[in-house]
Structure formats: structure tokens, C-alpha cells
Amino acid sequence: MYEYVGAIHIHSTYSDGTGEIPDIARAASEVGLDFIMLSDHNSLKAKKDGWEGWRDDVMVLIGYEINDRADRNHYLAFGLDTTVGVRITAQEYVRRVKERGGVGFLAHPDEKRSSMPEHPPYPWLAWDSEDFDGIEIWNHMSEWMEGLTEENKIQRFLHPLKSITAPPVETLQRWDALNRTRRVTAIGGVDAHAHKSDVLGFFEVEVFPYKVMFRSIHTHVLLEEPLHRGEAEHFEADKWRLYHALRDGRSFVANCYHADPKGFEFFATSGRRKHLPGSLIEFPGKEAVKLTAKTPFRADLRLIWNGNVVLETASRELSYKVLTPGAYRVEAWLDGKGWIYSNHIRIGDAGGAC
Ligand SMILES: [Zn+2]
Ligand SMILES: [Zn+2]
């Protein structure tokens, strides 16, 4: 498989971000990202203006972030040429994105931040929606703001990457529960705006420069064939391969600030067949099923089954013989901080046995 690294959930001057798209793409290129996925609020104008495509060796993909009338239920939609309408409910926009062939992810579903009145929380409340493809399990901006206090404020503004620990537990629990009945995949979001603020009291600073934010939460995508880097004629086909890999779970989320996770693998084997995350494996089948995870560095590896840790080891490799159906995924931790989060491999009948 070919592994590509990207940053998802980025705002530009097309909504409330401070960066122009060429500058954001250059920042991504300088930190070595392969793709970025922009999501300005309620607008696809950046796409209409022709900014989607290869820039500085980076694949620039443009979706948008939808919200409902009460500014709740933020939804990241990609793969659309026009917006799906305003003044509609979350259930309706989730449904329309899917109907039009787009790919959609719930944004910061358990956001609780309260430290800055001008940035209230925007949690997901419409849990009866059924058509979303995935969840943003980790949002840099939400976590950073939720831990902000008067005492740690200066430290956090000066070192925005150091304060990131792990995705919210309740989001992981919801995600595990959903995967017991259907595939719901994960993305990591930076929610980069590069806000300017005078919060330190003496001069205005750019709080989260794009280049700094691009060194934190990444989403890695695995493709069977390489991308045609810089080749405009292959862009559309490459874009859809990448979107479908995200939708289907051939991806993982990692905080690259701790260590480079490139090369991480989680897979199941049954006989001579290899199954990647996003797969549903028949159980019991003719062959025994074995799970394997490998990390490029020694880490605290945890195998999660239906939301419970069933195996934990400090190693570069984990293996497990499956005796019970369910939704399995892997987490890797380094020095008490979340590093890598795989998607689920689902074993057993969808909708029942798990
Ligand atoms: Zn949002
Ligand atoms: Zn956002």
C-alpha cells in the first residue's frame, strides 16, 4: 500500500481563517504533507474559484463545514460541487451529502470548550442521523481550548502542540458503539484558522499559524496505487480514491508531534487473506482470524474490542487470536500521550453478532 499524510479541517479567508489558500498549501508543503482538506463554513466558493488541485506538491481538496440554524451539528462534507442547501436540519444535510455522492464526517462531536466566550462549543446532537460516513475523533482546536486556564494560558499560546494529549473518551466510546452495527470511520482534524489574538495582553500574535498546526494531528491514508503527484489530468480520479479510502477506513489518525507514525500497520489474517481496517470478516469462518499491529517505534500498544482494552503491551508489535466477534481497533501511546488510532476491523455479522 502507498501511504499519504494529510491535514483535515482547515479554514481559510473564505470563512473565518486568516490564510489565503496558496499560503496554506505552501505551509503544508514545507512540513511535508501530501494533501490538505479545506472546510470553510457554509461555502464552496474556494472550489468554484478554482483553488482545488495540486499546489506546491500538495493535493488541495475543498469541502465545507455545514451547521444548522442554531449553529450546532457541524458537518464536514467533501466531494461536492455545490452546497446542499441552507435552513435544513442536520439529519437532512447529512442525508443530502450522501445522496449526492459526497463523503461526510461529524465535526468535534463532544466539544465542551468554555474558556473563550467568543468561541462557544458546537457539539453534535443529531445522533439519530444514519448516513454519515465517519467522525472527527480528534480536533486539535477543541482539545487545546478545553484545557485552557488563566494559569496555563501563556504556556499554551506559546506551545500549542505540547498540550494535546488524546481524543475525548466519550467520542471514542460513541465511535466504538457505532462500529458494532455499521462501519463508521475516523478522521483527525486540526481545525486550523490561524486566528490573530491579543490575548497575551501586549501585542497581537497569530495564535495557531498553519505551519505549526500542520505538525500535529494528521490522517494517514493507504492507497493501492500511488497518487499522480502534480498531474492535473489524474487529479479527479486520485481525489476520489483518497475520499473513498477515508470513507472505507483505509486510514488512521495520528499525532505526529510525538514521533513519525509512517509505516504503522493494523490488519487481520485468515488463512492466506489479509484484511485491512474497514473490513468486515465472517465469523466463525473456515479459517482462524489473527490480528496484528506494528508500529515504527516501541509504544504502549492497546487492542480495543467493542470499546474495552483486551490486550496491552509495550512493544513494536502486537498479535492476537480472535475468539470473540466484535469491532477491533488499535491505539498506540507514547509517554502517556495518544499517538496512533487505527480504524476498526469488524469481525462477525454486521448488525448482530458483534
Ligand atoms: Zn466547527
Ligand atoms: Zn471548523
Residues 70-87: tens digit of each pLDDT: 899 999 999 999 999 988
Q: Pairing mode, if any, of strands 53-55 and 251-255?
A: unpaired
What's the confidence (pLDDT) of residue 86?
A: 85
Q: Which residues pair with 3 in a beta bridge?
A: 222
Give the number of the ligand closest to the Cα of residue 10: 2
Rounded distance from Cα 265 to ligand 1 centre (Å): 30
Average pLDDT over residues 213-225: 96
Q: Which residues pair with 62 in a beta bridge?
A: 38
- Report the C-alpha gap between 224 and 233 in whole angstroms: 19
pLDDT tens-place string over residues 321-330: 999 999 999 9
Rounded distance from Cα 65 to ligand 1 centre (Å): 7
Residue 77 sits at the vertex; the CA angle it makes with 3 and 220, to the nearest 5 degrees, is 15
Residue with the larger pLDDT of the pair 285 and 207 = 285
What's the confidence (pLDDT) of residue 113?
A: 77
Rounded distance from Cα 63 to ligand 2 centre (Å): 11
Domain boundaries, the chain: 2-255, 265-347
Domain 265-347 belongs to what topology?
A: Immunoglobulin-like (2.60.40)
pLDDT tens-place string over residues 152-180: 877 777 777 888 899 999 999 999 999 99
Rounded distance from Cα 111 to ligand 1 centre (Å): 9
Give the number of the ligand closest to the Cα of residue 193: 2
Q: Which residues pair with 326 in a beta bridge?
A: 347
Residue with the larger pLDDT of the pair 312 and 163 = 312
Q: How many CB atoms are closer than 10 A to CB 225?
A: 10
- Report the C-alpha gap between 181 and 174 in whole angstroms: 12
Percent of the chain with pLDDT over 70: 95
What's the confidence (pLDDT) of residue 353?
A: 40
What's the confidence (pLDDT) of residue 203?
A: 57
What's the confidence (pLDDT) of residue 192?
A: 84
Cβ neighbours of residue 201 closer than 8 Å, sequence gap 6 or more = none
pLDDT tens-place string over residues 269-295: 999 999 999 999 999 999 999 999 999
Q: Do 142 and 191 contact (CB within 8 A), yes or no? A: yes
Query: DSSP label at 228?
Result: -
Q: Pairing mode, if any, of strands 217-223 and 205-206?
A: unpaired
Average pLDDT over residues 19-39: 97
Domain 2-255 belongs to what topology?
A: TIM Barrel (3.20.20)
Give the number of the ligand closest to the Cα of residue 75: 1
- In the numeric block, the cell 472505507 is attached to 248
What's the confidence (pLDDT) of residue 204?
A: 62
What's the confidence (pLDDT) of residue 351?
A: 44
Q: Pairing mode, if any, of strands 205-206 and 196-197?
A: antiparallel
Rounded distance from Cα 5 to ligand 1 centre (Å): 22
Give the number of the ligand closest to the Cα of residue 74: 1
State if pTM tops 0.75: yes
Average pLDDT over residues 218-242: 98
What's the confidence (pLDDT) of residue 200?
A: 53
Rounded distance from Cα 33 to ligand 1 centre (Å): 22
